[in-house]
């Protein structure tokens, strides 16, 4: 079975500090794509960052970066200089082309940012 595990149901961080959200996944495919999405109370999923599994270089997007460890099937998200607007539910997901690129989601991590 293809699965995604986010072991931290809740995390909190002080404004301007750094926080890391953990994610592990399991797939037998060799070619796949990994994503982090955030879901604020408005319900709309917003892409945070994307990583191609064939690329060794970790993706970065402004204050957001990932630590992609393919052999360990680990894909953690680091948020630097946390802002109040970063508070949301964060989902780790992946897709494989053989499954029509549907997203397989983790359980989510609720991030609170304290002023």
Question: Contact positions toward other proteins, by CB under 8 A?
Answer: 32-33, 35, 37, 42-47, 50, 52, 91, 95, 97, 100-108
Min dist CB 95 to other proteins, Å, is 6
Of residues 13 and 53, the one with the C-beta less far from other proteins: 53
Of residues 44 and 62, the one with the C-beta less far from other proteins: 44
Close Cβ partners of 93 (under 8 Å, ≥ 6 residues apart): 4, 34, 35, 36, 37, 103, 104, 105, 106
Of residues 81 and 97, the one with the C-beta less far from other proteins: 97
Q: How many CB atoms lie within 10 A of CB 10?
A: 10
Min dist CB 114 to other proteins, Å, is 26
């Amino acid at each position: 079975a293809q699965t995604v595990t986010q072991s931290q149901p809740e995390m909190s961080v002080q404004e301007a500090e750094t926080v890391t959200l953990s994610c592990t996944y399991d797939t037998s495919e060799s070619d796949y794509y990994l994503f982090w999405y955030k879901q604020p109370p408005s319900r709309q999923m917003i892409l945070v960052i994307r990583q191609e599994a064939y690329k060794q270089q970790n993706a970065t997007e402004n204050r957001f970066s990932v630590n992609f460890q393919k052999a360990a099937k680990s894909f953690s998200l680091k948020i630097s200089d946390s802002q109040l607007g970063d508070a949301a539910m964060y989902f780790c997901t992946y897709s494989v082309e053989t499954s029509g690129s549907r997203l397989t989601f983790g359980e989510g991590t609720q991030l609170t940012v304290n002023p």
